[in-house]
Amino acid sequence: MSSNLQDRTVVIFGGTSGIGLAAAQQAKAAGAQVIAVGFNAEGAERVAAENGFTGWRAADVTRPETIAAALTDIPHVDHLVLLAGTFVAGKVLEAEVDYLKRAFDERIWAAVHTLRALGDRMAKDGSVTFISGALADRPNAQGTAVLAAASAAMEAFARGLALEMAPVRVNTLSPGTTDTPLLARTLGAHRDAYVAALTEKLPQRRLGTADEAGAAVVFLMSNGFMNGETLHVDGGARLV
């Protein structure tokens, strides 16, 4: 299936770190022409050079004008992957509403603006891959209600778009807790204690890796009959 990516143009938002970078590296290894989009121009340029990607762009996915600017000179996109986003955590009765809105701005509205910016440059035999997460199925009481809602919304959005944008395929990756730089930034000094407690409960007794989740992204791009689906890569976390 990886041969399906040979010489195809793959644009990955969030492709400079974590799952996005792993997916970008694996897509390149499968022969794709990879353009990685990161938040920071200097960092995106460095990562692209280190990995031999075809190109790089910088964009803040909460600002539609930067999305449009990043895509303006790309003539054709075969596979679009939208993985950018932060961990928005705050209780509904306590957190600033504008901050909580970011969960949807980085996901639903970022996807809307990206797809509109691409327009008919999106290949009809290509694909779009979103990211949701375990919170869509297993929310908690730690201030993640809005983020859980945004994650679940991405899955519903993908199913609707699979019909609206047909024959373009649209799928969602739903990873469990994955060992990435975002996890370290989110938890800070509490990371190790959190991971130790979590892994005791997980069937695999470990976190997922960026490479494992990245491989799932490549699968969703490569398999031409995967459409309107949510692919869970969580080591069975939803079962416990």
pLDDT class of 175 with cuts at 50, 70, 90 = very high
Identify which of 59-63, 173-177, 191-195 has the greatest average pLDDT: 59-63
pLDDT class of 10 with cuts at 50, 70, 90 = very high
Q: Give the range of the structural domain holding residue 144, as residue numbers without chain letter.
A: 2-239
pLDDT tens for 111-169 read: 999 999 999 999 999 999 999 999 999 888 889 999 999 999 999 999 999 999 999 99
Determine how many CB atoms are found less than 10 A away from the CB of residue 14: 24
pLDDT class of 194 with cuts at 50, 70, 90 = confident
Q: Which CATH number goes with the domain that contains 173?
A: 3.40.50.720
* pLDDT above 80 (res 190): no
CB 47 within 8 Å of CB 93: no
* Alpha-carbon gap, residue 44 to 48, rounded angstroms: 6
pLDDT class of 3 with cuts at 50, 70, 90 = low
CA dist list (Å): 44 to 156, 166, 182:
30, 32, 16
Q: Which tokens go with 67?
A: 């999305």
Q: Which tokens go with 57?
A: 């762009």
* Alpha-carbon gap, residue 176 to 178, rounded angstroms: 6
Nearby residues of 160 by Cβ (< 8 Å), 6 or more positions away: none
Domain count along the chain: 1
pTM of the model: 0.92
